[in-house]
Amino acid sequence: MPKSAFVTIAGRTNAGKSSLLNALVGEKIASVSNKPQTTRTRITGIKTIGDTQLVFMDTPGLHKPKNKLSEHMLNTVTESVVDIDLLLFMMDCTRQMTPQEEAMLLDCKRRKRPVIVILNKIDLLEDKTRLAGMMVGIQSRFDPASIIPISVTEQDGVDLVEQEVLSHAKESPHFFPDEMFTDQPEKVIAAEMVREQLLRMLDDEVPHGIAVMTESMTEREEQDILDISVVIYCERESHKGIVIGKKGAMLKRVASAARTSLEDFFRIKVNLQCWVKVKEDWRNREGLIRSFGLTED
Ligand SMILES: Nc1nc2c(ncn2[C@@H]2O[C@H](COP(=O)(O)OP(=O)(O)OP(=O)(O)O)[C@@H](O)[C@H]2O)c(=O)[nH]1
C-alpha cells in the first residue's frame, strides 16, 4: 500500500532549513547562504523511498517583518503549518530560543500537531553535554513527538531525521511522480541559483533588496548547451553599480559561480547572461512583489 507524508520545515531564519531540505532530498533545490531570510517562498522537495513519498516544504525563516515582502514571507510560514502531517521545527542549538519560536511550538502543542524538533549545528557546540539539558527542557515545555540533534553540514543525524519522518507516513496515494524531486519550475530554480550567489558575495544590505527573474531558458538543438538569461532587479541605482562592480568584475564572479551550480543541477553546459535593472523600492510595492512570484498564492 503506498504511503505519503507532508512535512513542513519551519524555524528561525538561518537555522539551516534549506540545507536540511537539500540534504534530505539529495539535490540542491533550495538556496543556502549565511545571510538571514535567504528563502522567500515555499519550496517543495520530494523524496520517494520504496512505497513511501515524503513531500517537504521549506519555508521562509521566522523573523521580524520590516516591509511588505517580509509580511508575505511570514504569511507563507503561517499557511504552511495549517494542513500538514508533520512539522520539522528547526532550531540552531547555539542560540537562545526566540519568543516567535516559543509561540510556534506552544501553538503546535495546543493544536496537537505532530512536531519533530531538530537541534541543528551541533558541530558548533563546544560542550556537547549541554544538549541533554536542552532536550529535557524542550520536551517538558512543548511535548514534541521527538527531538533530534543534528549537523547538516557534517551529515550527522540527517538519516535519523529521514527514518523518523518515514515513521509518520500514512497510507495514501503519491501526489507526485516518484522520480520528481521538486515542484519548483526550472526557471525559478535558475533565478534562485543566481540570487544565492548574490547573497553570498555581496554585503548585507544590497542582496536583500534583490529579485532575480529568468527571462528565457532554451536548449540549443544538437549542441547540448542551455542558454539562460536572467534579470537582476535592484532597489536603487547605487545598488546596481555594486552588483555590476568595477569593470563588471562582481557580476562576472556571480555569473561564473551561478553557472557552475546550474551546470551541476541541469547536468548540461550552460551559457548564462545576467542583466541588471533598477525597480525603486520594489519590496514595498505589492504589484512588483506579485510579479516576482513572491506572494503566498
Ligand atoms: N556549522 C553549521 N552550519 C550550518 C549547518 N546547517 C546549516 N548551516 C549554515 O547556516 C547558514 C544558513 O543555512 P540555510 O540552510 O540557508 O538556513 P535557513 O534556515 O534556510 O535560512 P533562511 O532561508 O534565512 O530562513 C548557511 O551558512 C549554512 O551553511 C550545520 O549543521 N552546521
Alpha-carbon separation of residue 264 from 30, 154, 162, 203, 260 (angstroms): 14, 21, 24, 26, 6
Mean pLDDT of the chain: 87
Please tell me the predicted confidence (pLDDT) of residue 76: 66
Q: Residues near ligand 1 with C-beta < 6 Å?
A: 13-19, 32-34, 36-39, 60-61, 120-121, 123-124, 151-153
C-alpha cell at 218: 532554451
ipTM over 0.90: yes
**Other CB atoms within 10 A of residue 187 CB:** 16
H-state helical runs in 147-226: 158-166, 186-201, 205-208
Per-residue pLDDT of 181-226, as tens digits, reads: 888 888 888 998 999 899 889 876 677 788 899 999 999 888 889 9
Residues near 241 by Cβ (< 8 Å), separated by ≥ 6? none
Per-residue pLDDT of 246-294, as tens digits, reads: 999 999 999 999 999 999 988 899 999 999 999 877 777 777 777 777 6
Q: How far is the CA of 10 from the centre of ligand 1 (A)?
A: 13
C-alpha angle 120-3-166 in degrees, rounded to nearest 5: 25
Q: How far is the CA of 218 from the centre of ligand 1 (A)?
A: 32
pTM for the full predicted model: 0.79
Using CA positions, which residue lies closest to atom 6 of ligand 1? Answer: 16
Instruction: Summarize the confidence of residues 99-103 as an average pLDDT.
Output: 90
**For the chain, what percent of residues have pLDDT higher than 90?**
52
Shortest-distance atom of ligand 1 to CA 15: 19
Helix pair 249-266, 237-244: axis angle to 10 deg: 70
Instruction: Summarize the confidence of residues 133-146 as an average pLDDT.
Output: 95
Using CA positions, which residue lies closest to atom 10 of ligand 1? Answer: 16
Q: How far is the CA of 14 from the centre of ligand 1 (A)?
A: 5
Shortest-distance atom of ligand 1 to CA 38: 23
Instruction: Summarize the confidence of residues 29-36 as an average pLDDT.
Output: 74
Instruction: Summarize the confidence of residues 104-128 as an average pLDDT.
Output: 92
Q: Could you tell me the domains of the chain?
A: 3-171 (3.40.50.300), 186-291 (3.30.300.20)
Q: How far is the CA of 148 from the centre of ligand 1 (A)?
A: 16
Q: Are 97 and 119 in contact (CB under 8 A)?
A: no
Please tell me the predicted confidence (pLDDT) of residue 111: 86
Q: How far is the CA of 61 from the centre of ligand 1 (A)?
A: 11
Instruction: Summarize the confidence of residues 48-55 as an average pLDDT.
Output: 94
Please tell me the predicted confidence (pLDDT) of residue 78: 63
Using CA positions, which residue lies closest to atom 12 of ligand 1? Answer: 14
Least confident of 26-35, 74-83, 248-257: 74-83
Q: Grade residue 15 by pLDDT with cuts at 50, 70 and 90.
A: very high
Q: How far apart are CA 277 and CA 134, in angstroms?
A: 47
Shortest-distance atom of ligand 1 to CA 21: 15
Q: How far apart are CA 215 and CA 191, in angstroms?
A: 9
H-state helical runs in the chain: 17-25, 68-80, 99-111, 130-142, 158-166, 186-201, 205-208, 237-244, 249-266, 286-291
